[in-house]
Amino acid sequence: MQKEIIIAGFGGQGVLFAGQVLAYAAMDLGKEVTWIPSYGPEMRGGTANCTVVIADEEIGSPLVKRPPFAIALNLPSFDKYEPLMQPGGVLVVNQSMVDRGPKRSDIQVILVPANEIAEEIGNKKLTNMVTVGALVAAMPELLTLEAVEEALRGHLPARHQHLLPQNFQALRRGYETAREQMATV
């Protein structure tokens, strides 16, 4: 088994950290993992994306051209990665930053109002964790919510440990939002 994930958005949206959390969760479960960041020269507001490959065996190449899973945190990322998705793939979209529906009918698009959920929790920086929770709901054979929570607990820097309860709440809200959508499809 090998699964590829792309997470994309603007710099400052926590794109790279979201990928790291997924990579740590898989690594802590004993999986083989690669995590490759890619970002423009701008620190905030420029494009940022990362690829995560999770496998049971050694990974031959970390390059991802047609992902089965992706998160698009903004409209430019949705526009870029929707056409690249594998048929049957799952694309989690931050509905707060996207003003259109999907163009493809051969992939599952999960629309999550991630900004609004993060603001309800009290920290707009949690948008990334809301979408990670939604993605985990769509790939139960790969990762569990508990594994991602453990990865956060084990790998979140000490200066941010006080934010764990809010991160867990964001993950769970995204997870439940996605499960509700998947149940109606």
The DSSP line for 80-135 is: HHGGGSPTT-EEEEEGGG--S--S-SSSEEEEE-HHHHHHHHT-GGGHHHHHHHHH
Q: In this predicted structure, what is the pLDDT of residue 156?
A: 85
Q: In this predicted structure, what is the pLDDT of residue 40?
A: 67
pTM for the complete prediction? Answer: 0.93
Asked if 111 and 128 count as a contact pair (C-beta separation under 8 A), the reply is no
pLDDT one-digit tens code per residue, 101-157:
999 999 999 999 999 999 999 999 999 999 999 999 999 889 999 999 999 999 888
Q: Is the pLDDT of residue 9 over 80?
A: yes
Q: Is the pLDDT of residue 98 over 60?
A: yes
Q: Is the pLDDT of residue 77 over 60?
A: yes
Q: Is the pLDDT of residue 180 over 90?
A: yes
Question: Which structural domains are found in the chain, ordered by start?
Answer: 2-184 (3.40.920.10)
Closest CA to 113 of 128, 129, 95: 95
Closest CA to 9 of 86, 73, 105, 81: 73
Closest CA to 85 of 15, 183, 8: 8
pLDDT one-digit tens code per residue, 40-76:
665 556 678 999 999 999 998 888 889 999 999 999 9
Three-class SS of residue 149? helix
